[in-house]
């Protein structure tokens, strides 16, 4: 069997073709790779060999030039790649540029410009509201159904899947005490999220309407927004998350283009409150995505959050984050917010899964409330593809190491 004969049912068949950046075995040269089954195609080298005009976009150490090239180029490159891996005469030419996935090193696929994290799951927001603000009349804040809440995070600490996460130290308050103590976080958590990658910039002072979402956003990835709950709970009033989340954010090595996810588009949940015109998506194309996420701790699946339950869509989030005229840059990354479904087994954080440590998870190696040194967390996901196929979103994994 040649690498082009991807087994039926493989979520990385030619219907997917996600993009990453890799170095071949024994080399530190970085270049754009496209995943096909268990192989990575050196897309720039393949383009050169075929005399393709896209070589200039693909023989690069990051995806940023491709991201900046815009939607027409994105579709043209995808069409070309599909032909290279499926048409026999092209297959022959590009075969020397396929590398076994197990032999390459995967890198952070793009230079992250600005990073924003949203809070778009109603189930997550209600759970966290009940845990952090038990005395509030409503678990949702009064603004929640009127705008996608978010904050600007730290772009420079976004790391690729497989990077170790050093347990952060900081201030926390021991219940019942007035003054804080300093030390390693004892409530280190995960947040299972989806990251959206901006390709085409926008002009300062010009909001980007929801209808232009596909002109600007190239694709999506899996994202783990590591969160130190004890640091967060003490520091977040009144300006929001700061050091409790800025120490590391992990993304998957593969960026799935939105063009591979057409069959996964779904209507978001029923809107319970009328929306201001710039966020009103009642007349728009379905803005949700049916992504089935799985969260594993040390190889044991502890949760299966369904992305289709997210209240706010990525198009609404883009419209909101630019509505004040803030400009987009190539490489901007915005995270969906923790994905939690309505069922207990669908929660996207340990904070919720263990109800702030009250109900530990039973793992074969013992009870878990929050993460211990040496724990490995892996998020993986797939989406429905054409003709009953699955589109694999790969995985984002990280191991906790002592600070
Ligand atoms: O409600 C709060 O005070 C805190 C919320 C979070 O920690 C969630 C967050 O970072 C946004 C998200 O991922 O949904
Ligand atoms: Ca988050
Ligand atoms: Mg984070």
What is the predicted ipTM?
0.92
What is the spatial distance between Cα 315 and Cα 317, in angstroms, rounded to a whole number? 5
Answer yes or no: is the C-beta of 151 below 6 A from any ligand 1 atom. no
- List pLDDT tens digits, range 158-183: 999 999 999 999 999 998 999 999 99
Answer yes or no: is the C-beta of 308 below 6 A from any ligand 1 atom. no
Closest atom of ligand 1 to CA, residue 244: 7
Answer yes or no: is the C-beta of 153 below 6 A from any ligand 1 atom. no
Residues of the chain with pLDDT > 90: what percent?
98
Report how far ligand 3's centroid is from the alpha carbon of 226 (Å).
5
Residue whose CA lies nearest to ligand 1 atom number 13: 337
Closest atom of ligand 1 to CA, residue 125: 1
Residue whose CA lies nearest to ligand 1 atom number 9: 119
Q: Is the pLDDT of residue 110 over 90?
A: yes
Q: Nearest to residue 117, comparing CAs of 21, 294, 248?
A: 248
Report how far ligand 2's centroid is from the alpha carbon of 234 (Å).
17
Report how far ligand 1's centroid is from the alpha carbon of 270 (Å).
22
Query: What pLDDT does residue 1 have?
Result: 83
pLDDT band at 314 (very low <50, low <70, confident <90, very high): very high
Query: What pLDDT does residue 206 have?
Result: 98
124 is catalytic: yes
Nearest ligand to the CA of 153 is 3
Query: What pLDDT does residue 330 have?
Result: 98
Report how far ligand 3's centroid is from the alpha carbon of 154 (Å).
8
pTM over 0.95: yes
pLDDT, average across residues 19-26: 97
298 three-state secondary structure? coil
Query: What pLDDT does residue 132 have?
Result: 87
Residue whose CA lies nearest to ligand 1 atom number 4: 128
Query: What pLDDT does residue 189 have?
Result: 98
Residue 295 in tokens: 């969260």
Q: Nearest to residue 276, comparing CAs of 197, 204, 207?
A: 207
Answer yes or no: is the C-beta of 375 below 6 A from any ligand 1 atom. no
Residues of the chain with pLDDT > 70: what percent?
100
Report how far ligand 3's centroid is from the alpha carbon of 248 (Å).
5
Query: What pLDDT does residue 307 have?
Result: 98
What is the spatial distance between Cα 373 and Cα 365, in angstroms, rounded to a whole number? 13
Q: Is the pLDDT of residue 106 over 90?
A: yes
Closest atom of ligand 1 to CA, residue 232: 7
Query: What pLDDT does residue 111 have?
Result: 98
* 94 touches 46 (CB < 8 A): yes
Strand stretches in 173-331, DSSP E: 181-184, 188-189, 192-198, 217-224, 227-228, 249-251, 256-257, 265-266, 288-289, 292-297, 300-303
Closest atom of ligand 1 to CA, residue 193: 13
Answer yes or no: is the C-beta of 242 below 6 A from any ligand 1 atom. no
User: What average pLDDT does the structure give for the chain?
Assistant: 97
Closest atom of ligand 1 to CA, residue 236: 3
Report how far ligand 1's centroid is from the alpha carbon of 306 (Å).
18
What is the spatial distance between Cα 292 and Cα 303, in angstroms, rounded to a whole number? 11
Q: Nearest to residue 402, comparing CAs of 163, 184, 228?
A: 184
Query: What pLDDT does residue 218 have?
Result: 98
Answer yes or no: is the C-beta of 305 below 6 A from any ligand 1 atom. no
């Amino acid at each position: 069997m040649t690498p082009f004969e991807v087994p039926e049912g493989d979520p990385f068949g030619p219907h997917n073709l996600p993009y990453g950046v890799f170095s071949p075995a024994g080399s530190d040269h970085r270049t754009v790779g496209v995943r096909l089954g268990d192989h990575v195609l050196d897309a720039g080298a393949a383009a050169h060999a075929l005399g393709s005009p896209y070589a200039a976009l693909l023989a690069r150490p990051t995806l940023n030039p491709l991201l900046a090239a815009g939607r027409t180029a994105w579709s043209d490159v995808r069409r070309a790649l599909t032909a290279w891996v499926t048409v026999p005469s092209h297959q022959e030419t590009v075969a020397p540029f396929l590398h076994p996935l197990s032999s390459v090193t995967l890198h952070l696929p793009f230079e992250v410009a600005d990073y924003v994290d949203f809070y778009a799951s109603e189930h997550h927001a209600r759970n966290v509201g009940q845990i952090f603000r038990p005395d509030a009349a409503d678990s949702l804040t009064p603004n929640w159904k009127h705008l996608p809440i978010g904050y600007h995070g730290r772009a420079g600490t976004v790391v690729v899947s497989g990077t170790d996460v050093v347990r952060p130290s900081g201030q926390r308050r021991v219940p019942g005490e007035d003054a804080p103590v300093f030390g390693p976080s004892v409530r280190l958590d995960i947040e299972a999220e989806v990251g959206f990658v901006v390709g085409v910039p926008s002009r300062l002072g010009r909001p980007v309407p929801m209808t232009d979402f596909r002109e600007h956003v190239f694709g999506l990835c899996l994202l783990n927004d590591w969160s130190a709950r004890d640091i967060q709970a003490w520091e977040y009033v009144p300006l929001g998350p700061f050091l409790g989340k800025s120490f590391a954010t992990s993304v998957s090595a593969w960026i799935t283009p939105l063009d591979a996810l057409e069959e996964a588009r779904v209507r978001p949940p029923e809107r319970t409150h009328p929306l201001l015109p710039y966020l009103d998506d009642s007349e728009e194309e379905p803005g949700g995505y049916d992504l089935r996420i799985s969260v594993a701790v040390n190889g044991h699946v502890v949760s299966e959050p369904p992305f289709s339950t997210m209240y706010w869509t990525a198009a609404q989030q883009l419209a909101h984050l630019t509505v004040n005229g803030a400009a987009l840059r190539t490489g901007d990354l915005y995270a969906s917010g923790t994905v939690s479904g309505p069922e207990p087994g669908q929660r996207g954080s340990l904070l919720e899964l263990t109800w702030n440590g009250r109900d530990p998870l039973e793992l074969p190696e013992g009870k878990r409330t929050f993460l211990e040194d040496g724990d490995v967390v892996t998020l993986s996901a797939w989406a429905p593809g054409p003709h009953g196929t699955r589109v694999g979103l790969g995985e984002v994994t990280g191991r906790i190491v002592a600070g």
